[in-house]
Amino acid sequence: MALRTPVRTEDEPVGRTTRRDRRPRPSAAGARLWTWLTLPGTVWMSVFFIASLLLVAAISFGTTDQLGDPRFGTDLGNLKALADPAYRDVMVRSLGYALLTSVICLLIAYPVAYAVALHAGRLKNALIAAIVVPFFANYLVRMYGWSVLLSDDGPVLRVLRALGLADAHTKILNTGFGVIAGLVYGFVVFMIIPLYAAMERMDTSLIEAGRDLYGGPLRTFLYVTVPATRQGAAAGVVLVFLPAMGDFVSAQFMGGPNQIMIGNLIQDKFFEGQDWPLGSALTMALMAVLLLAMFGYLRRTRKDEAEATR
């Protein structure tokens, strides 16, 4: 070979060489750039999110000093306190409220998503925007408006009384129903969106086939539409359950002292009672319930996917 190249010296062997070991590879610079882009956000999240969650876990084993400031420790008292009937009842109630909220949202969202996705024609996009936009309006202001609407001499009860559906003693606020109404109002959009998306994807000829097979619209809905949108519904249940379980505003605005939820307890321990270790233990308990729910959901969807691909 008469070829001479500038980078090659005479005594270097021509031909087979392993360049990987001797020279920087051009793509290495690229990999470094991606690392530098990933690093700041990752460090930020590790410090301000992951570390702080670990701190909550650590403090839940701690105690308070005379000033009410938290101290680290290995005390199991806070976790034992969770079994105390007063706290246990609140946790059971929170779970019940959040589950009922999910069910009610499901019952509202199915007809709404169905009507918007399949029977709204050209209005479809406008209607879905009309559902999403109020969700971005201030949560407190919406909750406040809702509580005014449902108050003892508010418009809803006045209409119900005029129709003879309620008497002078009927209340919505300061009842469990009021709290659930608040949670439903706050989070129903999280149910509608995934259900709407699922119905959009659904093959509408399924419904027509269902009509032929089953006849009635209700039977078609139950045997065709519901199974076809099951994954959307499952996602919606999780998306509603998660924030509903941790909410404390609805119970404060719509409920009374007998309707408090776990979120109110946590808020109380941090702002009124100054028992941060116990508040941390309650937070851990809440997180545990939610992680269980999330785990169940993920297992469910995996199973569904596995069945779908079979």
Partner 1 sequence: MSATATTPRPRRRRRGSRRRPVFAIATTVVFFVLLYLPIAMVVLFSFNSQKSLTVFKGFSLRWYEAFFHDSVLLGSLGMSLEVSLVAMLGSVVLGVALALGLVRHKGRLGSYAGLIMMVPLITPEIVTGVASLLLFKGLGITLNSGTVMIAEITFSISYVTVILRSRVAALNPEVEEAAMDLGATRWQALRLVTLPALLPAILASAVLIFALVFDDFVLAYFTTGVDPQPLAVRIYSAIRFGVEPTINAVGTMMLAGSITLIGLALAIPRLFGRRGGLDLISGE
Partner 2 sequence: MTQTPVVPDAPAVPAVRLEHISKEFNGSHAVRDLCLDIAPGEFFSLLGPSGCGKTTTLRMIGGFADPTDGAVLLSGEDVTALPPNKRNVNTVFQSYALFDHLSVADNIGFGLRRKGVPKAEIRERVGAMVDLVQLGGMAERKPRTLSGGQRQRVALARALVNRPAVLLLDEPLAALDLKLRRQMQVELKQIQREVGITFVFVTHDQDEALTMSDRVAVMNGGRVEQCGTPEDVYERPESRFVAAFMGTSNLVSGVYRDGAVQLDGGPSLPVGTRPGIADGSTVDVSIRPEKIWLSDFEPGMPVVGGVIRETVYSGPTTTYLIELAPGVTVAALEQNTARARMEDRWEGGERVEIGYDPEHCLVLGR
Please give the residue ranges that form the binding site for partner 2 (CB under 8 A).
2-8, 15-20, 23-27, 29
User: Which residues make Cβ contacts (< 8 Å) with residue 25, sequence separation at least 6?
Assistant: none
Q: Are 289 and 83 within 8 A, CB to CB?
A: no
Please return the burial class of 118, using the count of CB atoms within 10 Å of its CB with bins 0-12, 13-18 and 19+: middle
Instruction: Select 27 or 205, whichever has its Cβ closest to partner 2.
Output: 27
How far is residue 249's CA from residue 260's CA, in Å, rounded to a whole number?
10
Which residues within the stretch 57-116 sit at the binding site for partner 1 (CB under 8 A)?
Answer: 59, 70, 108, 111-112, 114-116
Residue (22 or 169) nearer to partner 2, CB: 22
Rounded to whole angstroms, what are the CA distances from 214 to 118, 205, 241? 19, 14, 33
52 binds partner 1 (CB under 8 A): yes
Residue 308 Cβ vs partner 1, minimum distance, rounded to whole Å: 19
Output the CA–CA distances (angstroms, integers) from residue 59 to 68, 78, 108, 156, 280, in the order listed: 13, 10, 41, 45, 6
- 145 counts as binding partner 1 under rule CB under 8 A: yes
Q: Which amino acid is at 13?
A: P
Q: Is 286 in the site for partner 1 (CB under 8 A)?
A: yes
Scanning 10-18, 88-96, 152-160, 168-176 for contacts with partner 1 by CB under 8 A, the matching segment is 152-160
The structure tokens listed for 236 are 């919606």
Map the footprint of partner 1 across residues 121-140, applying CB under 8 A: 128-134, 136-140
Which is nearer to partner 1, 14 or 159 (by Cβ)? Answer: 159
Interface mask (CB under 8 A) for partner 1, residues 232-271, using x and -? ----------xx-xxxxx--xx---------x--xx--x-
Contact in structure between 187 and 142 (CB atoms under 8 Å): no
**Residue 50 binds partner 1 (CB under 8 A):** yes
Cβ at position 243, least distance to partner 2 in Å: 38
Residue 104 parent element (H or E): helix 85-119
Closest by Cα among 174, 106, 177, 185 to 140? 185
Closest separation in Å from C-beta 15 to partner 1: 29
- The DSSP bridge partners found for residue 64 are 70
3-state secondary structure of 120: coil
Amino acid making up residue 53: L
Euclidean distance between CA atoms 275 and 267, whole angstroms: 10
The residue (of 14 and 107) whose beta carbon lies closer to partner 1 is 107
CB of 27 to partner 2, least distance (A): 6
| C-beta closer to partner 2: residue 4 or 169 | 4
With tokens 């009927």, the residue in question is 170
155-214 positions binding partner 1, by CB under 8 A: 155, 185, 193, 196-197, 207-209, 211-213
Closest CB 32 distance from partner 2, rounded Å: 12
Range 27-46, binding partner 1 (CB under 8 A)? 29-31, 33-42, 44-46
Specify the residue, 37 or 148, whose C-beta has the smaller distance to partner 2: 37
* Cβ proximity to partner 1, 14 vs 51, nearer residue: 51
CB of 198 closer than 8 Å to CB of 192:
no
Q: What pairs with residue 71 in β-bridges?
A: 63
149 touching partner 1, by CB under 8 A: yes
Q: Which does 8 bind (CB under 5 to 8 A by kind): partner 1, partner 2, none?
A: partner 2
